A and B are shown apart, each in its own frame.
Chain A
Amino acid sequence: MAASPRTQSRRAALRAAAALPLLAAVPAAAEEYADATAVLAAIDRLEAEVAARLRTVAAASPAAAALSASLLGDQAAFRAERSRLRRRLGLAPAPDAFAAPEGIDADLPALRAALDRLVYAHAEGLPAVDDPHAVQRLAAHMVECARHLTVIDLWLEAERG
């Protein structure tokens, strides 16, 4: 996909930011999104993978059922709000379902990695959304996804003893 003027502007901004020696908050290889459509599509796809991994982990470990149900419930609310944001932004509706990767194992580190990618997609996508309300709402979803990520981190730390 050719870079839009906005994407080029973002790249210039990120290059300028990367030149600051102390700008540790922004990962060096931040994903570039051309517009809100691309951001929301990435979030839909990554969220579907997290959901599939959560279900697999819960199926293998009944103790994780309540956690999985809670996180999947949050995701359902986020999907509903993204539909409203698409209407607000004049974007086409999302497809009904996103295919999750096949052959998923009940692997906690892989679930953690998928959640990490989902959090990053929200963070890196915000500057491409260009609508203050939509930015604020996606940031609120990002906060919840980051909480989910920390819950999994704490679980992993507990398992490592």
Chain B
Amino acid sequence: MAESRRAALRRVAGLAGLSLPVVDLLGGARVRASEGLDLEILGAALALEHHALAIYEHGLERGLFPPGLRDYAVEFRGDHLGHRDTQVALMEERGGRAPEAKRDYGLGRFDTAERLLKEALTIEVVAQDAYLRLIGNIRTDDYQLAAAFILVDEVRHATVWKRATGARIY
């Protein structure tokens, strides 16, 4: 990837409008775990899920995923729908208000299979990095468990797109 992981994280965090405590956490700061922080993390994770869904919808609607990879894109879109719904349910159960998807993620420039696959890989790697940095700060057991299984999905997505873009996977 031409864009570094740190730069990609900053770009996606900016697009998603993540809250200050979460941006601090992603930057490596120590933040005291609390129910409020769990809600902030849930909100950040949801923002990333909305962004990932937008990329898959964009690519699938325009037929940008090559035939051999389209089934993966459909599978991964389904995973992200599940992640989104899981986290909306968790957030609402805790009395939080789930953030909605943005109207525009600036996806128009991803108009070829190569560009789209690189952006899909970027968002999956950003999601993987974000969940990994945040998971130790999640206080509630059920959300930590859900986040762990979501993280496993993100790794699968990133690994498949890495191979598709010619990157090393082991």
Contacts and interface: CB of A to CB of B under 8 A. Distances in A.
B40 to A, nearest CB: 16
A71 interface: yes
Interface stretch (B15-23, B57-65, B78-86, B95-103): B78-86
A81 interface: no
Interface in B79-120: 82-83, 85-86, 88-90, 93
Contacts of B142: 13-14, 16-17, 26, 127
Contacts of A135: 135-136, 144
A123 B148 contact: yes
Interface string A19-40: 0111111110010000000000
22 contacts: A9-B141, A13-B142, A16-B93, A20-B93, A22-B82, A23-B89, A24-B85, A25-B153, A26-B146, A136-B135, A136-B136, A139-B148, A139-B151, A143-B132, A146-B155, A147-B159, A147-B169, A147-B170, A151-B159, A154-B159, A154-B160, A154-B163
B122 interface: no
Contacts, number: 112
7 nearest A-B pairs in the assembled complex, by CB-CB distance: A136-B136, A123-B148, A132-B136, A127-B141, A146-B155, A150-B159, A17-B142
Interface in A90-131: 119, 122-124, 126-127
Contacts of A150: 155-156, 159-160, 169
Interface of B: 33, 82-83, 85-86, 88-90, 93, 128, 132-133, 135-137, 140-142, 144-146, 148-153, 155-156, 159-160, 163, 169-170
Nearest to B128: A143
B140 A139 contact: no
Given A20-B90, A143-B128, A25 B150 contact: yes
B166 to A, nearest CB: 14
Q: How large is the interface on A (under 10, 10 to 19, 20 to 34, 35 or more residues)?
A: 35 or more
A17 B93 CA distance: 10
Given A25-B153, A127-B142, A136-B135, 10 more contacts: A10-B141, A21-B89, A22-B89, A23-B86, A23-B146, A25-B149, A123-B148, A139-B136, A140-B132, A147-B169
